[in-house]
A = this chain, B = another copy of it.
Amino acid sequence: MTSQWKASLYAVLLLASGLSVQAETIVITGATVLDGTGSAPLENGLVLIENDRVAAIGTVGNIAVPTGAREIKAAGKYIIPGLMDANVHLYLEIPLVSLVRYEGRYHEIITEAAQVALKSGVITVFDSWGPRQPLVKARDAINAGQAQGARIFLAGNIVGFDGPMSKDFIPAAATMADPAFVKRTNALWQENVGRELMWLTPEQVRKEVRAYAARGIDFLKYGASGHTEMAFITFSERVQKVMVEEAHRAGITVQTHTSSVESLHMAIEAGVDLLQHCDVSGPVEIPASTIKLLVERQVACATLPLTRKRLGIEEQGAIWVSTKNINNQNLIEAGVNILLSTDAGVMGDSTESFFQKNRDGDLTELGQGHFRWFEAVEEMGMKPMDMLMAATSNIAKAYKVDKDLGTLEVGKIADLLILDKNPLRAAKNYRSIHTVMKNGKIIDRAKLPDNPILSRE
């Protein structure tokens, strides 16, 4: 096969997958620009994009536009940075039937989920739990332009948790499958950082975490509470500190899964950068002293607030859910550094049925969850500009990727959305997506999946 031929085949494949590859200079004119820094809106704005970066921002007439630039007229519209989601799970197909059916193809499911995110304006996602190798494969293919999809940053496993067919997730599945399948599948998640770490001394844990951090993860996440055993603590404070040290030593951020007031407090003291679902504390509200500590140390708090409508639908664990929303209210009022997050993923028919999931009401549906997040915090009185920053620059800073991402500033990667309506006026206006641009290229959203899981084979 000649290399010329190869190249054109590649072009065909890229086209087929909805990728647009042509680099060009683009200028967006006339819109109100909300740059994500918290600055006042810039009316009649002009955003100039060269290659994949923002080359200039200003008002129309004050910026020189290169000849041949493609102009997008956006008067009456709003430009915001590409949205980010601080907590997604691109692979949720963990019931046994799905694990078997998609074995060897998990990266394809992940890619498809990343496309769902991108289609809905979430241009960057932080996958905080999943099988590391398939996630890396999907991330790298997207980054290399070999597949379309949201930009992925990934943690792989949650340190201290075992795989999908373990006591941490669906233990009964292990009784229905042969040991070899169970072992190799759980190992995709666990690798060297599963439950066995709970038995170890700090130095033994250090060694394992150091090895794991070297395997291409973008950030480290550990369980400070158990997953199914939510009231239990997983690691001593000194072990937690070792994990924080090792993440930082590897140049990545570190975060935790917590689900009780004490595990939350221990994680803060251990020095983590970010707390996942820090609004979850079982039946007991987070005390004011802990919220104060969050503010003082500016630990980033990814939250999972519910709208009042959803709160009504929720039937089980009523105390937990109401406690969670009280926590959210308190976190917002105290001025904690809050991040948009959804815990969202995509599910095929089989998995959805297994979990008897109610798609309509659920925060955790990729492509929808982030809109619901905005609506929930709006109800709780979060300021419109804070909401925008919670979904962009705050996340970029918390994950230490703000050199390139999170705001519309000269020199940053040109990830942006053009909205038809003003998102500062109403949370629901985030839904009015007109254009999605990633890496300076306009995304052909029509080519991205509507009904994911290998687009409902």
Which positions in A face B, CB cutoff 8 Å? Answer: 95-97, 100-101, 103, 170, 172-173, 175-181, 195-196, 198-202, 204, 226, 229, 231-239, 260-263, 265-266, 281-284, 287, 349-354
Q: Which 3 A-B pairs have the closest CB atoms?
A: A178-B353, A232-B232, A198-B231
- Are A234's CB and B236's CB within 8 A? no
Given A100-B97, A172-B175, A353-B180, CB of A233 within 8 Å of CB of B231 = no
* Given A101-B101, A172-B176, A180-B349, 8 extra CB contacts under 8 A: A176-B176, A177-B350, A178-B349, A179-B353, A199-B261, A200-B284, A201-B261, A204-B284
For A102, give the chain B residue with the smallest CB separation. B100
- Are A263's CB and B284's CB within 8 A? no
Name the one of B97, B175, B262 contacting A181, with C-beta atoms under 8 angstroms: B97
- Are B237's CB and A181's CB within 8 A? no
Minimum CB–CB distance from A206 to chain B (whole Å) comes to: 13
Minimum CB–CB distance from A356 to chain B (whole Å) comes to: 9
Question: Can you list 17 A-B contacts with CB-CB less than 8 angstroms, sorted by A residue number?
Answer: A96-B100, A96-B177, A97-B100, A97-B177, A100-B100, A177-B350, A178-B349, A178-B353, A201-B287, A202-B262, A204-B284, A229-B232, A232-B233, A233-B236, A236-B265, A238-B265, A239-B262
Minimum CB–CB distance from A263 to chain B (whole Å) comes to: 7
Minimum CB–CB distance from A162 to chain B (whole Å) comes to: 11
Name the one of B176, B179, B233, B287 contacting A96, with C-beta atoms under 8 angstroms: B176
Q: Which residues of B contact A238 (CB under 8 A)?
A: 262, 265
- Are B236's CB and A235's CB within 8 A? no
Q: Which residues of B contact A353 (CB under 8 A)?
A: 178-180
Q: Which residues of B contact A282 (CB under 8 A)?
A: 199
Give complex CA distance A96, B178 in Å. Answer: 10
Q: Which residues of B contact A235 (CB under 8 A)?
A: 233, 262
In this complex, which of A172, A204, A260, A261 has the most chain B Cβ atoms within 10 angstroms of its Cβ?
A261
Given A261-B200, A261-B201, CB of A176 within 8 Å of CB of B178 = no
Given A198-B231, A200-B284, A260-B198, CB of A178 within 8 Å of CB of B237 = no
Given A177-B350, A232-B226, CB of A97 within 8 Å of CB of B95 = no
For A172, give the chain B residue with the smallest CB separation. B176
In this complex, which of A181, A232, A265, A284 has the most chain B Cβ atoms within 10 angstroms of its Cβ?
A232
Minimum CB–CB distance from A306 to chain B (whole Å) comes to: 20
Give complex CA distance A176, B170 in Å. Answer: 9
In this complex, which of A97, A204, A238, A352 has the most chain B Cβ atoms within 10 angstroms of its Cβ?
A97
Give complex CA distance A200, B290 in Å. Answer: 13
Q: Which residues of B contact A283 (CB under 8 A)?
A: 196, 199
Give complex CA distance A282, B97 in Å. Answer: 33
- Are B236's CB and A180's CB within 8 A? no
- Are A198's CB and B232's CB within 8 A? yes
